[in-house]
Amino acid sequence: MLARTTSVIAHSRETGLLAGDAVVLFGPPGSGKGTQAKFLVAHFGIPQISTGDMLRDHIARRDPIGRAIEARMKAGSLVSDELVNDLVRARVSEPDCANGFILDGYPRTRQQAEVLTDLLRELKRGEVVIHLVVDYNIIIARISGRRVCPKCGTLYNSSSRPSRIPGVCDLDGESLVVREDDREGVVLERLEAYERQTRPLIDYFRGIGSRVFEVHASSGTPEAVFGKVLELLRHPA
């Protein structure tokens, strides 16, 4: 009981650390944004907003949005700014975002970054940008070993996080698949889109005075990388 009370107190303190701000997880595909987002969710009790997951949901449901974006996503190209801006705007006004939220995969273009910063000012929120820096050779190796459960979405990696039985989800026994846009040529297209459209946003955020932290994430376990993220949030100097 005592341990539980202590952990609740620690948890609420840490939520206060973010003061309702948005955490923008920034980095190339395969840099571990999704994994770090999950740690942040568990630690701070605030939601993850992944535009990639939201878009894949539309595709899985085969609704009009899903049908409109499927070809672009499979090719590794970005979908329209207008669409993702609308999705994010609607999502951040939900009540669970009141104490802050984690943006994973958004913004990805200058236009999205401007819309986001206007939105945050309107909501009287600040932003903390965490830039996961990873060597490109490591990214390619990581993505080529990545497998996903088509049923529950759990991610595995043949080298860093293998499933207990190769090719089978630990949680529901489903056969694992390669995500359509993790195929080799498509990964290069995604990295190029990142270099061309997304990486320059670091300078945009620095230019408007956002807190931007670089975290080297090429080596070490995901937990060790998260340790560095927390350290920076606690001692930003």
Judged by beta carbon, residue 84 or residue 212, the one nearer ligand ADP is: 84
Q: Is 108 a catalytic residue?
A: yes
* 47 versus 52: smaller Cβ distance to ligand ADP: 52
Catalytic residue among 56, 142, 147, 190: 190
Q: Is 33 assigned a catalytic role? A: yes
- The residues that touch ligand ADP, with contacts defined as CB under 6 A, are 29-30, 33, 51-52, 55, 72-73, 76-79, 84, 105-106, 108, 112, 181, 190
The helices-and-strands tally (H runs, E runs) of the chain is 10, 7
State the residue number with the nearest CB to ligand ADP. 52
Q: Is 69 helix (H, G, I), strand (E, B) or coil?
A: helix
Q: Which helix (H) or strand (E) holds 4?
A: helix 2-18
Cα dihedral 198→203→205→211 (10° resolution): 120
Q: Is the peptide bond preceding residue 107 cis, with omega within 30 degrees of 0?
A: yes
Burial 146-156 (b: 16+ CB within 10 A, else e): bbbbeeeebeb
CB of 9 or CB of 72, closer to ligand ADP: 72
Task: For residue 162, give both structure tokens.
Answer: 């293998």
- For residues 127 and 205, the answer to whether their CB atoms sit within 8 Å is yes
Instruction: Indicate which residue of 142, 146, 147, 228 is catalytic.
Output: 146
Residue 100 or 105: the one with the smaller Cβ distance to ligand ADP is: 105
Active site residue 190: yes
Query: What is the smallest separation between the CB atom of 106 and ligand ADP, expressed in angstroms?
Result: 4
Distance CA 207, CA 229 (A): 22
- 146 catalytic? Reply is yes
Q: Which of 74, 91, 110, 179 is catalytic?
A: 179
State the Cα–Cα distance between residues 38 and 51, nearest whole angstrom.
14
CA 47, chain centre distance (Å):
11
Q: By C-beta, is 65 or 78 nearer to ligand ADP?
A: 78
Q: Are strands 146-148 and 155-157 parallel, antiparallel or unpaired?
A: antiparallel
What residues are labeled active site?
33, 108, 146, 179, 190
